[in-house]
Structure 1
Amino acid sequence: MPVAMTTRWLAIARRHPSAWLLGIQLLAVLLYPALDETAGGRALVGAFGMAVLGLALWVVQRSPLGTWLALLLAIPAVVFSLAGVWLDKPALATTAQLLESLLYFYTAGALTAYMLQDHKVTRDELFAVGATFTLLAWAFAFAFSVCQQWYPGSFAGTGEGDLRSWMELLYLSFSLLSGVGLSDVVPLHPQARALVMLEQFSGVMYVALVVSRLVGLTMLKRS
């Protein structure tokens, strides 16, 4: 009986990889506030990032865009991230974040293509709507982190120093992408403001094109 149940859950997991990707990213959002302040916590956050990268690769395999570019981005990202921690080299960590940002953008594009490849709306595609949104939020948060490393003082916030924490940047990213705009982090540098405008545009276009299309197809199927 346990073997049968395990097989069943594995089959469900294979059918809905987007749900696992969405779930682990939402779990990471809940855990980040407690983990971002200590060295051990930051290491665990890094482990979450690695898990998300693996899930992202799994989802890309189901998309029409393939996996080769994702692997070219993911493997160096993992190497630079670990090297940055072991060697205490911020430049290596910044390089890893740049690669991770590109990987998240690529995976978000792959999931979008997956959702738009036909005129049927599956349950996994509905999970992919949320997963793509979180992927875009992570991608821009990594881009913001790279920006403030290259241009110190790019963002102003309630905390001291020129660098904002990862949680602050992720909060800003979700605020911009959702169109809410409620954040205590403000872009000051021109490059930072350019990234913010790109994310605002991406959030509006995502809702207007992808979400509205899937909702329309779902309603059409029901009628």
Structure 2
Amino acid sequence: MAAPSKPIPEDPLGFGRWTASLRSHPSGWLLGVQLLTVLVNPLMENTAAGRAVFGAFGIVVLALALWVVNRSHAVNWIAWLLAVPSVALSLAANIGGQTQLLPMAHMLESALYFYAAGALTAYMLADNRVSMDELLAAGATFTLLAWAFAFAFSVCQSWYPGSFTAAVNTESPRTWMELLFLSFSLLSGVGLSDIVPVTPPARALTMLAMFAGVMYIAIVVSRLIALTTLRLRRD
């Protein structure tokens, strides 16, 4: 007589599905958290508590960036070498009130996001098969580049005051949301930003962002579209 089978434990909150989804599509989670940050940041950036919450969001994004790097063939210790001090400096600046550390934190975060974007790009170009996670990685890589250049613009603004002007509050430093908006505008090539770089370092970074956006679309996005179209024709 066969022994009665053990009852399968219930998972009413769906933690198993969430965990499986995180393992299968970390790029999608990274993309979702970054887009959520774009939506909630305008509600938080004008208060100290809001900036602290935004710093916590940044740590989550950093953790997910480390996760996606771990799925690629990138050298993990480089990512950790950038992430650990950037988290420490970000916490000290946003929660501890040591705002003088913010430029260094942003410089390290910019380097980490550039590294993660490169790792995801290598992951997408590693084979001739297009998976759902690679399609999500295409969006996540774009947002990583946007964050990386926004942090670079922030560092530039700290080192060279007055690097960016705008249609409103022309003499004031640009907020994080304004710099992120500029980054998205440059990378996408839409040219809708009302923020203008006025110092040579700022203009150099701006040109690099334009170049990165054009090359990303020309090399990565066009390749994914071509491979997807080829697969559909074969099917």
TM-score (norm 2): 0.91
Aligned to 2:63: 54
Name 1:22's counterpart in structure 2: 31
Shift, 1:86, TM fit:
5.2
CA–CA distance in structure 1, aligned partners of residues 22 and 205 of structure 2: 35
Shifted more, 87-96 versus 62-71: the winner is 87-96
C-alpha RMSD of the superposition:
1.3
Q: Deviations over 1:30-65 (max 9, x none)?
A: 001111111111111101000000000001000011
Which sections of structure 1, spanning at least 5 residues, go unmatched? none
Give the distance between the partners of 1:151 and 1:222, measured in 2 at CA.
51
The counterpart of 2:103, out of the listed 94, 118, 123, is: 94
How far residue 27 of structure 1 moved from its aligned partner, in angstroms, is 0.2
SS at match of 1:180: coil
Secondary structure of the residue that 1:121 maps to in structure 2?
Answer: coil
Which of 129, 132, 144 is equivalent to 1:135?
144
- Deviations 1:162-196 (Å, cap 9, x if unpaired)? 41000000000000000011111100000000000
CA-CA distance at 1:80 after TM superposition: 1.2
CA distance in 2, matches of 1:125, 1:87: 38
Query: 98-107 or 3-12, which moves further after superposition?
Result: 3-12
- Secondary structure of the structure 2 residue equivalent to 1:118: coil
Deviations 1:96-153 (A, max 9, x none): 0000000000000000000000111000000000000000000000000000000000
**CA positional deviation for 1:8:** 2.7
Q: Is the 8 A contact 2:31 2:140 kept in 1?
A: yes
Offset at residue 67 of structure 1 (A): 1.3
**Number of residue pairs the alignment of both structures matches:** 223
Letter in 2 for 1:187: P
Shift of 1:13: 1.6
> What one-letter code is carried by the residue in structure 2 that aligns with 1:39?
A
What CA distance in whole angstroms lies between the structure 2 residues aligned with 1:87 and 1:161?
28
Indicate the larger mover: 84-93 or 100-109.
84-93
Is the 2:107–2:152 contact (alpha carbons within 8 Å) kept by the matching residues of 1?
Answer: yes
Matched, 1:72 2:101: no
Counterparts of 2:52 and 2:151, CA distance in 1: 17
Aligned residues: percent identity?
61
Higher helix share: 1
Q: Which has the larger radius of gyration?
A: 2
- Cα distance in 2, alignment partners of residues 162 and 151 from structure 1: 13
2:51–2:94 contact (8 Å) kept in structure 1: no
- Displacement of 1:3 in angstroms is 6.1
Structure 2 partner of 1:163: 173
Contact 1:154 1:162 in 2 (8 A): no
Q: Return the match for 2:186 from 170, 176, 179.
A: 176
Aligned residue among 146, 155, 166 for 1:146: 155
2:129 pairs with 1:120: yes
Q: CA 1:113–1:127 in 2, change beyond 3 Å: closer, same or farther?
A: same
Alignment TM-score, normalising by the size of structure 1 = 0.96
| 1:194 maps to amino acid | A
Report the Cα distance in structure 2 between the residues aligned to 1:182 and 1:73, rounded to whole angstroms: 32
